[in-house]
Amino acid sequence: MTFKILFYIIFMTFSGANHADSGSKKLLPLCRDSPNCVSSQTQDPKQFIAPFKIKGNTTEAWKALKGVLNEHSRITITRETPTNIHAEATSLIFQFVDDIDFILDTENKTIHIRSASRVGHSEFGVNHKRIEALRLQLQKDQLIS
């Protein structure tokens, strides 16, 4: 029994580390078949979340997004390029880590989003709420619609 648990932990650790390295293709990693992931590029209506539609200058909106992420005490930007951001959000009590990926699509004035838990099956809508809170902050600054 303990071997199964150890195997599961190791498997989840390595399988959860899929990041948005495909910036040139403008594709986010796929969501697994569980309710603990939201993405603006999925076809699954249960996991879909609308992308951020930029109102004005894309560079200004991208810079503001990085600023909003840096304001959060439990979100850390771990990797960024001019068109990709990968961040990690750590839960307060159990220290679970969620992956958050953003891709800037300057051509369509859009920021695509994916937020997913690394482990477990359900997370009580935390990923969806996190993205909507980020959306609200950027909407208050009238950077996205």
The CATH number of residue 85's host domain is 3.30.310.80
Write 87-94 long-range contacts (CB < 8 A, 24+).
Answer: 89/115, 89/130, 91/126
Asked if residue 81 belongs to a domain, the reply is yes
18 within domain boundaries: no
Contact 40, 51 (CB under 8 A): yes
pTM for the full predicted model: 0.81
Q: What is the number of structural domains in the chain?
A: 1
User: Chain-wide mean pLDDT for the chain?
Assistant: 86
Structure tokens that stand for 110 in this block: 């859009």
Residue 67 forms part of a structural domain: yes
Tens digits of residue pLDDT in 115-142 = 999 988 777 889 999 999 999 999 999 9
65/101 Cα distance (integer angstroms): 12
Q: Is residue 11 part of a domain?
A: no
Residue 38 falls inside a structural domain? yes
C-alpha dihedral over 49, 50, 52, 54, to 10 degrees?
Answer: 180
| Per-residue confidence (pLDDT) for residue 44, from 0 to 100 | 95
Tens-digit pLDDT profile for residues 22-46: 334 689 999 998 889 999 999 999 9
Q: Does 50 score more than 70 pLDDT? A: yes
Tell me the residue range of the domain where 58 lies. 33-140
pLDDT tops 90 at residue 6: no
- Strand segments, DSSP code E, in the chain are 37-39, 52-53, 75-80, 84-90, 97-105, 110-117
Provide the H-helix boundaries in the chain: 2-15, 58-71, 126-140
Question: Does residue 14 form part of some domain?
Answer: no
